Amino acid sequence: MSETATNSAAVRRLTAADGTALQRMLARCSARSLHQRFGTAAPALRTFTESLVRRENAIGLGSWRGDDLIGVGSVHFHEDRPEFAILVEDAWQRRGVGAHLVRAMCDETVSAGWHHATVELLVPNTAARALLLSSCSHVWFSMPDAGLVSGLVMLRPLAAPREGD
């Protein structure tokens, strides 16, 4: 994936060399942001880092401002579906970084041959729901269950109606 800039940030795939930058970004995130992404304020950082940069069935994308990683998005390819996850450091939330990452995640998933992706969010994470609804053309959310909301993101537009339909 080539680097693309928006809001002075560039998005590119993460590599093993980005582990230190990822850990620095996680250290700048609030306990609230970490909890909304991981379900805990103290995630297993090593496991998370490795899942983004070393797994064959996942793509990790980073949003960079200079040498600083300011947001990460991941697509984990399960046997039956891809699953999205995203985390933007607090200082960069609501500034377009998340939307740019979501669009890049959609592009990567379509390039891998998928037409949809899923997402699991904590019920109180209304910002993530709003981000997906504003960044993707077709998103559906389930009713909350056990503190989670499941989402289905359609990545390819539905066929336009034909004249006369």
Please check whether residue 73 is in contact with residue 88, taking contact to mean a CB–CB distance below 8 angstroms: no
pLDDT band at 163 (very low <50, low <70, confident <90, very high): low
Three-state SS at 100 = helix
Q: Tell me the fold of 6-154.
A: Aminopeptidase (3.40.630)
Q: Would you say 151 and 122 are in contact if contact means Cβ atoms under 8 Å apart?
A: no
pLDDT per residue over 73-124, tens digit each? 999 999 999 999 999 999 999 999 999 999 999 999 999 999 999 999 999 9
Q: Where are the domains of the chain?
A: 6-154
119 forms beta bridges with 151
Q: pLDDT confidence of 37, banded at 50, 70, 90?
A: confident
Question: Per-residue pLDDT tens for 38-63?
Answer: 876 666 666 776 667 667 788 999 99
Instruction: Determine the distance from the C-alpha atom of residue 67 to the mean position of all C-alpha atoms in its chain, rounded to a whole number.
Output: 20
**pTM attached to this predicted model:** 0.84
Residue 49 three-state SS: helix
Q: What token pair was written down for 92? A: 């960069």
